[in-house]
Amino acid sequence: MNGRLEQVRHVVMDMDGTIYRGRTLFPWTLPWLEFLRRHRIGFTFLTNNSSRSRSLYVERLDAMGIRITPEQMYTSTWNAIDYLRETYPGITRLFILGTPSMRREMREAGFQHVDDDPDLVLVAFDTGLTYEHLCRTAYWISRGKPFLATHPDLICPTDEQTLLVDCGSICACLSAATLRRPDKVLGKPNPEMLCHVARNHGLTPADLLMVGDRLQTDMLLAARAGALSCKVANPREDGIYNRDIHLVPDLTVEHLGELHARMEEALGPPPPASTPDADSRPGGRSAR
């Protein structure tokens, strides 16, 4: 395994359950990120949660002491933007079921939300979902418009005493009403999400290490894309969502602190602190 870790040029990390839980940053996260910077290994945070824009995630991480550029944050919304640009060139008029933050991000990327005769329906995680908007979404799906979903998650992780109904559950409702499933479900574990990250940094999936806590999204994503995978333990996820998934990650650790130790064993001590950050480079260090 040390030989494979030595070849890692970019680390892609899930967020909730991996670098923090709810509003609490894990104590091993900042030392781990500093280790990657010192070794000039690039990193990207990856999330299926489309309810927040990339800029809001950057602000949230900054408040936790994690300084990143917007390009180091890749959400299912940006996966949708990249997919739409590649697969539906010229289409910009969408009916979007999503939060104001998500719609604003889509608008800034050149896509507008329209109520009348859209070219395509895009369903995301809408934390302000209304019955009227749900019905209108179903209407356009029933009219045969292309139907895309940003991600498949049924619920969104939270440390609050509630259950957050996510995009996959909203799509299940729409599918029951319209007798149509989404034509395309983006986000994890669709391998296109990781392939986009690799291409954005001039790399291939084989150069990446995917780190996360869910077998059915994070680890399956890595397996489908051909990236190295590392699963961190999460008792909540393992007891509910991971128990029926038969998938063996390349590496399993208790937390990022253990992965840090494994990587340090494989790579040796980091170079002097004056070495330029990986953040200033597209993919991280050059291949060995």
DSSP string, 223-282: HHHT-EEEEEP-HHHHHHTSTT-----SEEESSHHHHHHHHHHHH-SPPPTTSPPGGGSS
Query: Does residue 173 share a domain with residue 240?
Result: no
Query: Does residue 174 share a domain with residue 210?
Result: no
List pLDDT tens digits, range 214-265. Answer: 898 999 999 999 999 999 997 666 555 555 667 899 999 999 999 999 999 9
Is 206 a member of any domain? yes
| pLDDT band with cut points at 50, 70 and 90 for residue 278 | very low
Task: Write down which residue in 160, 185, 210 finishes a domain.
Answer: 185
Of 141, 146, 84, 148, which Cα lies nearest the Cα of 110? Answer: 84
pLDDT of residue 286: 40
Query: Does residue 165 share a domain with residue 129?
Result: yes
Is 223 a member of any domain? yes
Is 119 a member of any domain? yes
Is 9 a member of any domain? yes
Query: Does residue 234 share a domain with residue 207?
Result: yes
Contact status, residue 151 vs residue 76, Cβ threshold 8 Å = yes
Is 191 a member of any domain? no
Query: Does residue 206 share a domain with residue 181?
Result: no
List pLDDT tens digits, range 187-208. Answer: 999 999 999 999 999 999 999 9
pLDDT of residue 68: 96
pLDDT of residue 270: 75
| pLDDT band with cut points at 50, 70 and 90 for residue 275 | very low
List pLDDT tens digits, range 139-188. Answer: 999 999 999 999 999 988 777 888 999 999 999 999 999 999 999 999 99
pLDDT at 283 over 60: no
Of 163, 194, 145, 146, which Cα lies nearest the Cα of 47? Answer: 194
Task: Write down which residue in 153, 185, 217 finishes a domain.
Answer: 185
List pLDDT tens digits, range 85-137. Answer: 999 999 999 999 999 999 999 999 999 999 999 999 999 999 999 999 999 99
pLDDT of residue 20: 92
Query: Does residue 263 share a domain with residue 231?
Result: yes
Taking the C-alpha atoms of residue 122 and residue 124, their distance in angstroms, rounded to an integer, is: 7
Which tokens belong to 206? 């084989």
Query: Does residue 181 share a domain with residue 207?
Result: no
Is 261 a member of any domain? yes
List pLDDT tens digits, range 15-71. Answer: 988 999 888 899 999 999 999 999 999 999 999 999 999 999 999 999 999 999 999
Is 110 a member of any domain? yes
**Whether this model's pTM surpasses 0.85:** yes
Taking the C-alpha atoms of residue 103 and residue 19, their distance in angstroms, rounded to an integer, is: 27
Query: Which residues lie closer than 8 Å to 15 by C-beta, 6 or more apart?
Result: 45, 46, 47, 49
pLDDT of residue 281: 43
| Total number of domains in the chain | 2
Q: What is the CATH number of the domain that holds 265?
A: 3.40.50.1000
Query: Does residue 160 share a domain with residue 111?
Result: yes
Query: Does residue 179 share a domain with residue 210?
Result: no
Query: Does residue 213 share a domain with residue 166?
Result: no
Is 195 a member of any domain? no
Query: Does residue 180 share a domain with residue 84?
Result: yes
Q: What is the span of the domain harbouring residue 147?
A: 77-185
